[in-house]
Amino acid sequence: SKPIIAVVGRPNVGKSTLFNKLIGKRLSIVEDTPGVTRDRIYAECEWLGKTVMLVDTGGIEPKTDDIILAQMRRQAQLAIDSADVIIMVVDLKTGVTATDHDIALMLQKSGKPIVLCVNKCDAPGGLPADFYEFYNLGLGDPVAVSSVHGHGTGDLLDECYRHI
Ligand code: GDP
Ligand code: MG
């Protein structure tokens, strides 16, 4: 069966935009309102002759009493459990948040390979200064991506493929 790559992170960092860019279709709903993707959404993605199953998730809010956010977190946990590789998406524009730290810890506990994607790196040429703070999450070298423009998505998949 095909390797499974799960896209996780807190709401609004651009997971669904990345997912759509990687599969080359608009399947997952992109919204400015956090929490639009509630269930897991699956699609095949082919890159350099390999086919993988990509999973988009609604986002993780580790500390919440909200029923919908708790349901999204359960769905994300199921995606994490079934994944061979996890892409953790963070947002250059907001920088590292406390929730990012919580999610990074939770993912490290899963013992699965994690690839850190710093999304919204839209400006061409060179890495922005704010990029380096994401090393503080302790997940190794982050990959700079603009899901809107498609920059860095090849590097991101290359990094995922090292683990499968
Ligand atoms: P999700 O909740 O993590 O799935 O995030 P979405 O994919 O729904 O995106 C949330 C918002 O971030 C939307 O307004 C997207 O257009 C925007 N967004 C996503 N990726 C990028 C990017 O690479 N650059 C910029 N500037 N905005 C982005
Ligand atoms: Mg989404």
- What domains sit in the chain, N to C, each tagged with a CATH number? 4-161 (3.40.50.300)
Q: What are 64-107's pLDDT values in tens digits?
A: 899 988 988 999 999 999 999 999 999 999 999 999 999 999 99
Helices (H), 56-152: 67-82, 98-110
Give me 7's structure tokens: 């896209």
Residues in the chain: 164
Residues with beta carbon < 5 A to ion ligand 2? 15-16, 37
Q: What are 22-32's pLDDT values in tens digits?
A: 998 777 777 76
The pLDDT value recorded for residue 34 is 63
Write out residues with Cβ below 6 Å of ligand 1.
Answer: 11-17, 30-32, 34, 37, 59, 119-120, 122, 146-148
| Through-space distance between the first and last CA atoms of the chain, rounded to whole angstroms | 12
Q: Quick one: what percent of the chain has pLDDT higher than 70?
A: 95
By the 10 Å C-beta count (0-12 exposed, 13-18 middle, 19+ buried), 159 is classed as: buried
User: Cβ(107)–Cβ(86) under 8 Å?
Assistant: yes
User: Any residues with CB less than 8 A from the CB of 49 and at least 6 apart, and which?
Assistant: none
Q: Which of 30, 93, 94, 149 to mutate to test the pocket of ligand 1 (most atoms within 8 A of CB)?
A: 30
- Give the Cα separation of 37 and 46 in Å (integer): 23
pTM listed for this prediction: 0.95
